[in-house]
Amino acid sequence: MNYWKKVNIGDYKVYTPKIYYYFVNIYPTQSEKPDYLKTNTFWNPVPLRHINHFFPELIDSVSHLGEIKELAIVNIDNLFGNSGTTLHTDHTFGLNNRVKARLNIPILNTEGSKTCFYDIPTKYKYEVSVGGTKVWSRELENILSPVTSVEVVEPTILRISEPHIVTCISKKIPRITLTISFKDDIVRLLDE
């Protein structure tokens, strides 16, 4: 199984500063966020109508991958205490329902961080959040070894339906990426 794949989407560095500026200065206020995200600084969905207005170059650069289904800015800050995420699969609610892979584009401080994928034996139990995120105990990171890992320093498709963590080894935070799902799931590109 392929867990990740680097992809060419042209000169993405043309619009990544615009995305960062949008996130810091324009992103919808807490009152505009859906209730389930009001206390969440990690997952920041971008209204699709904002793409054309604030960073239209993005659409052209990813159009060969298909029509965008959901776009979110992922912000790892001190939320997790260890500058990383817990061992998890991505949520399955809303537009992320049945999504198995997403395109991730580096925005800020992604060098020195890794996304590590795990094959977890069924004997290890997990909890499921309201949004469908599966989360395993942090202890497993010390028991199991990753099957593969990748540093998202260029556009990368990640198989988010498989257990993974993001570890910010460099401790540079916030670590910000743009993550995009497509109406025709790009997991097909990992399976080729």
**Where do the domains of the chain lie?**
4-191
According to DSSP, the residues that pair with 6 across neighbouring strands are 156
Q: What is the pTM of this model?
A: 0.89
* pLDDT for position 110: 93
User: pLDDT per residue over 116-150, tens digit each?
Assistant: 999 999 999 999 988 888 989 888 888 999 999 99
CB distance 180 to 48 below 8 Å: no
Under the banding of pLDDT at 50, 70 and 90, the label for residue 58 is very high
CB distance 123 to 30 below 8 Å: no
**Closest CA relative to residue 177, chosen from 117, 103, 79:** 103
Query: Who contacts 91 (Cβ-Cβ below 8 Å, separation ≥6)?
Result: 43, 129, 131, 132, 133
- Could you tell me the CA-to-CA distances from 18 to 24, 50, 60, 64, 184 in Å, in that order? 10, 12, 15, 21, 26
CATH number of 4-191: 2.60.120
* Candidate from 137-141, 155-159, 179-183 with smallest mean pLDDT: 137-141
Under the banding of pLDDT at 50, 70 and 90, the label for residue 152 is very high
- Could you tell me the CA-to-CA distances from 137 to 42, 133, 141 in Å, in that order? 19, 13, 8
